[in-house]
Amino acid sequence: MRELHDLVVGIAVEAAELARIRRHEGVDVAASKSSLVDIVTEADREVERFVVERLLAARPDDGILGEEGASVAGTSGLTWVIDPIDGTVNYFYDIPAYAVSIALVEGEPEPTTWRALSGVVVNGATGERFEALRGGGARLDGHEIRVADAVPASMALVGTGFGYDAGRRERQAAVVQGLIGSVRDIRRIGSAALDLASVACGRLNGYFERGLQPWDMAAGALLVEEAGGALRGWEGEPASSAFLLAAHPTLADELTALLAPLRPQDV
């Protein structure tokens, strides 16, 4: 597994550099997806093609699940889950928080049942490299990372995100309004992969979001687990597209209790 992990870390670093170069050259919207503000750039597609070609050249029997449409069933029972540029809107605006996120998962490529084995998140703008290998801990640029020590919710800096549908964003904002007086403050970084990496290295105390896609969370969730954090879904369910919360285990309990009356899973 170490060999596969090193392979994907190398590919993610090269892919992030490709994204950075394309950003420098100038970025145009190639298409809209679920709504007019849910954009894809030509660079998203090019980076995904680059990652898929490199992975399949080395691992022809593995499956692929990519944000921009790459989909290969595979026969090995292993699937590479790829977000070529997580934080595409940041990328479009040249806000330096966008990342290549790749995870290797075992089992059906579905977050409630898969077992993530390896994950890497590389910030294309800063070059920071977050990586985790199941059972082997989590690292930032080669140095071991841990989630922040437990703090009461009132002292917790909590990240969240919003979907692309305007109605859902309004309902998500109402959840934030209900929570913000009970925590230190809220951050909306704009890349779920970097939010999760930030929890893993203690830059955020916690993070929650409804409506993430499998590729937004695959690598980041493993980072949090390997850094000693807890991942929760809603009401005892595993973390999923429906709801994901990540934090130190003690804080995760407190945030879950604070969020319960706000019903963030229904927004």
Site residues (vs ligand IPD, CB under 6 A): 67, 83, 86-88, 161-163, 190-192, 209, 211-212, 216
Alpha-carbon span 61 to 78, nearest angstrom: 8
Min separation Cβ 191 and ligand IPD, Å: 5
- Smallest gap from residue 211 Cβ to ligand IPD (A): 6
Nearest to 258 by CA among 182, 162, 185, 187: 182
- For ligand IPD, give the closer residue by CB, 55 or 121: 121
Closest CB to ligand IPD among residues 192, 223:
192
Least distance in Å: CB of 150 to ligand IPD? 25
Query: What does DSSP assign to residue 161?
Result: -
**CB of residue 168 vs ligand IPD: minimum separation in angstroms?**
10
In the complex, minimum distance from the CB of residue 27 to ligand IPD, in angstroms, rounded to a whole number: 13
The amino acid occupying position 83 is D
Residue with Cβ nearer ligand IPD (120 or 151): 120
CA distances from 136 to 133, 170, 239 (A): 5, 40, 21
Name the residue with the smallest CB distance to ligand IPD.
161
Residues 6+ positions from 126 with CB-CB distance below 8 Å:
96
Encode burial over 153-184: b for 16+ CB neighbours within 10 A, e otherwise: beebbbbbbbbbeeeebebbeebbeebeeebe
Rounded-to-integer distance, Cα 161 and Cα 188, Å: 6
Closer to ligand IPD by CB, 86 or 131: give it.
86
- Rank residues 23 and 59 by Cβ distance to ligand IPD and give the closer one: 23
- C-beta of 241: minimal distance to ligand IPD in Å? 10
Q: With respect to ligand IPD, which residue has the nearer C-beta, 175 or 212?
A: 212
174: nearest Cα among 160, 184, 164: 160
Using the minimum distance from each CB to ligand IPD, give the nearer residue, 219 or 247.
Answer: 219
Q: How far is the CB of 16 from ligand IPD (least distance, A)?
A: 14
Q: At what angle do helices 214-226 and 192-200 cross, to 10 degrees?
A: 0
Contacts with 142 (C-beta within 8 Å, 6 or more apart), sequence order = 129
DSSP code for 76: S
